[in-house]
Amino acid sequence: MEVYFLELGIVLIVVSLVGIFFRSIRQPLILAYIFTGLILGPLFFKVIGNHELARTFSTMGITFLLFLVGLELDIRKLKEVRRASLIVSLSHFAIAGILGFVISILLNFPIIPSFYISLALVLSSTVIVVKLLSEKHDLNSLYGKISIGFLVIQDILAIVALIFLDALKNQTTITALPFLVIFIKAVVLISITFLVSTFILPRVFRYIAKHHELLFILSISWCFLFSILSYYLGLSIEIGAFLAGLSLAYLPYSFEIVARVRSLRDFFLIMFFVALGTQISFNLDHNLLPIIIFSIFVLLVQPIIVMAILGYLGYRKRTSFLAGISIAQVSEFSLVLLGTGLVLGHIGPEIVSIITIVGVITITISTYFITFADKLYNLLRKPLSIFERKEIIENYTPVELKIGDHIVLVGCHLMGSQIAETLSSLKKKFLVVDFDPDVICNLNNRKIPCIYGDIEDLDVIEKVELSKASMVISTVPNLRDNLLVIHRAKKLNPKIKVIVATDEVKEAFDLYKAGADYVILPYILGGEHSSLIIQKIEKGEGHLKSLRESHIKDLKRRVTLYSL
């Protein structure tokens, strides 16, 4: 026990130090976790000697991950892209699966291992994509929604694959009966999920919702209960965890549960990536060629497949490119599937080792792909035109605007919606740039000139014609984006007025230094407004109840107008 405690303690200390170093040099933290596993594993310091403990932590990390995937799965949020996500996911799964299988056969792998390899390569990582898109604040963008919808469908396909692989356990010959039995068990488990989430869970969680610690413990217990039930039904524990999360997804307390469970999941996921790093081997011998080819397949071929499908469906090249490179990595589900295949005796440790190394390579490189996606797009913008049809379904300017002496408003959410109303009341010519499809749809309905896109996109810069604009207002509190806005606007039009926003006082000085004419700090403005309200109440000039009612009424109006 002391040995386990010491190993875990050393891992946490080292991963903290490596994480601080990677953050200081602006590198993704996921790479820090993998690097920690590499240096503490059998190749170097050999601190992590108990691989069984590492595997246990990895399994728990994936289990909690799938629990949260189910918990955060809200199909309603993906309604505007569900057709694209479904078509892209199924088409990609079929095309990439066949190509991966053929490549494996050509590399002299037997048929059954080739099936596992193709299945492992075709699945992309939900945890990597969601984490990185969240850090970039791109989850609500069109490409973000398509990517998440794509991954949700992939996760469902992976779970179906796991169910059928579970049917093969303890079977010496392949017959229809085991598949029928496992299908019935899966239906039973799904039915239990539906019945319990409809009739029992709402009452139970309503009763304990006020006790936050009890809410947390019950949620974790629910995850383990379903995982255990799934295990005894002959299914994998990951399936049980996913269904447990799904059963809680539509409860009004799901946000509270997610917030409390996320830290626990992050801890075990760190252990998962550390364990992944321990499996890296430089003694590749004859496996080097398959590793290189499979990595190229995941990093280049699969994104091209996605770009081609989205381009055919009528999406712009930028949307297709960003969605394509988002899925260029091996999934954590792939390792679960390979582990099942190893237990069944369908594949050997060599296959698991090859795909694990491919996973580390693709996760590492795709992290940079996603982080620097906009810069990559600007470099490849012209050749990417082959993936864009003439008839695109993403309209730039559905409502015509007479260009010249106009105002460009970047972002039309909370702050931007208020500015848009002010500009409308002043009868100013203005054009909105936003990458949230819901916002664009509402602006179109209200006949407000708007462009779907990101102000970083050179195509968007050309369309808004900053050289002829009188002012640009950016309500996006992102330092890098705002520095780009200032640089490009002033370069194209030295007389243009530039107003930007930030949440940090230090960043405000950087923005002023870069040439901003005014910097909005929402929290300071919010504090000033709150102070005025308090003064009115104290002087008897306003009643808190009437202020509350008018505020709620105004918020409802904004939700209706701007999909906030």
The 10s digit of each residue's pLDDT in 111-153 is: 999 999 999 999 998 878 887 887 777 777 778 888 888 888 8
- Candidate ranges 37-51, 343-357, 541-555; pick with highest mean pLDDT: 343-357
Q: Are strands 450-452 and 471-474 parallel, antiparallel or unpaired?
A: unpaired
Whether residue 245 contacts residue 64, with contact meaning beta carbons closer than 8 Å, is answered with: no
CA 94 to chain CA mean position, Å: 23
Q: Which residue has the higher pLDDT, 335 or 115?
A: 115
Q: Which residue has the higher pLDDT, 47 or 472?
A: 472
Task: Please indicate, yes or no, whether residues 163 and 275 belong to a single structural domain of this protein.
Answer: yes
pLDDT at 542: 62
Is residue 226 one of the residues assigned to a domain? no
Last residue of a domain, one of 387, 419, 440: 387
Q: Which residues pair with 519 in a beta bridge?
A: 500
Report, as an integer, the average pLDDT of 241-270: 83
Q: What pLDDT, in 10s, does the model give residues 433-487?
A: 987 777 887 888 888 888 877 777 777 887 888 888 999 999 988 888 899 899 9
Is residue 532 one of the residues assigned to a domain? yes
Task: Please indicate, yes or no, whether residues 425 and 535 belong to a single structural domain of this protein.
Answer: yes
pLDDT at 396: 47
Three-class SS state of 46: coil
In our burial notation (b when 16+ CB lie closer than 10 A, e otherwise), range 484-502 reads: bbbebbbeebeebebbbbb
Report, as an integer, the average pLDDT of 22-49: 80
Four-point Cα dihedral 41, 43, 46, 50, nearest 10 = 50
Report, as an integer, the average pLDDT of 173-202: 79
Quote the CA–CA distance of 455 and 435 in Å, as a whole number. 9
- Main-chain dihedrals φ then ψ at residue 260, nearest 5 degrees: -80, -30
pTM: 0.75
Task: Please indicate, yes or no, whether residues 379 and 450 belong to a single structural domain of this protein.
Answer: no
Task: Please indicate, yes or no, whether residues 414 and 349 belong to a single structural domain of this protein.
Answer: no
The 10 Å Cβ neighbour count of residue 235 is: 23
Mean pLDDT of the chain: 84
Going by pLDDT thresholds of 50, 70 and 90, the confidence category of residue 167 is: low
Task: Please indicate, yes or no, whether residues 477 and 449 belong to a single structural domain of this protein.
Answer: yes
CA angle centred on 49, ends 46 and 54, rounded to 5°: 120
Quote the CA–CA distance of 297 and 358 in Å, as a whole number. 10
Quote the CA–CA distance of 505 and 253 in Å, as a whole number. 35
Last residue of a domain, one of 330, 359, 387: 387
pLDDT at 181: 79
pLDDT at 182: 78
Task: Please indicate, yes or no, whether residues 380 and 525 belong to a single structural domain of this protein.
Answer: no
pLDDT at 309: 94
Quick one: tokens of 41? 């594993």
Task: Please indicate, yes or no, whether residues 432 and 534 belong to a single structural domain of this protein.
Answer: yes
pLDDT > 70 in the chain, percent: 90
Kindly state the helix (H) or strand (E) to which residue 250 belongs, with its residue range: none
Task: Please indicate, yes or no, whether residues 347 and 420 belong to a single structural domain of this protein.
Answer: no
Going by pLDDT thresholds of 50, 70 and 90, the confidence category of residue 210 is: confident
pLDDT at 500: 94
Say yes or no to pLDDT of 170 above 70: no
Is residue 415 one of the residues assigned to a domain? yes
| Domains held by the chain: number | 2
Task: Please indicate, yes or no, whether residues 364 and 420 belong to a single structural domain of this protein.
Answer: no
Q: What pLDDT, in 10s, does the model give residues 398-445?
A: 555 667 889 999 988 878 888 988 998 898 999 999 877 778 878 888
Amino acid found at 276 = L
CATH number at residue 488: 3.40.50.720
pLDDT at 387: 87
Quote the CA–CA distance of 454 and 407 in Å, as a whole number. 16
Is residue 12 one of the residues assigned to a domain? no
Closest CA to 332 of 162, 510, 141, 198: 162
- Candidate ranges 104-108, 206-210, 279-283; pick with highest mean pLDDT: 104-108
Say yes or no to pLDDT of 12 above 60: yes
Q: How far is CA 316 from CA 320, 389, 561, 563, in A?
A: 6, 8, 26, 23
Q: What pLDDT, in 10s, does the model give residues 212-228?
A: 888 889 999 999 999 99
CATH number at residue 292: 1.20.1530.20
Quick one: tokens of 71? 């918990």
Task: Please indicate, yes or no, whether residues 428 and 457 belong to a single structural domain of this protein.
Answer: yes
Is residue 339 one of the residues assigned to a domain? yes
Q: Which residue has the higher pLDDT, 285 or 80?
A: 285
Q: Which residue has the higher pLDDT, 276 or 226?
A: 226
Report, as an integer, the average pLDDT of 155-184: 73
Last residue of a domain, one of 387, 419, 437: 387
Find the domain containing 556 and state its range: 407-562
Is residue 14 one of the residues assigned to a domain? no
Quote the CA–CA distance of 33 and 38 in Å, as a whole number. 9
Task: Please indicate, yes or no, whether residues 442 and 358 belong to a single structural domain of this protein.
Answer: no
Cβ contacts of 500 within 8 Å, gap of 6 or more: 473, 474, 482, 485, 486, 511, 516, 518, 519, 520
pLDDT > 90 in the chain, percent: 25
Task: Please indicate, yes or no, whether residues 157 and 119 belong to a single structural domain of this protein.
Answer: yes
SS3 sequence, 134-172?
A: HHCCCCCCHHHHHHHHHHHHHHHHHHHHHHHHHCCCCCC
Is residue 8 one of the residues assigned to a domain? no
Report, as an integer, the average pLDDT of 191-216: 85
Is residue 461 one of the residues assigned to a domain? yes
pLDDT at 462: 79
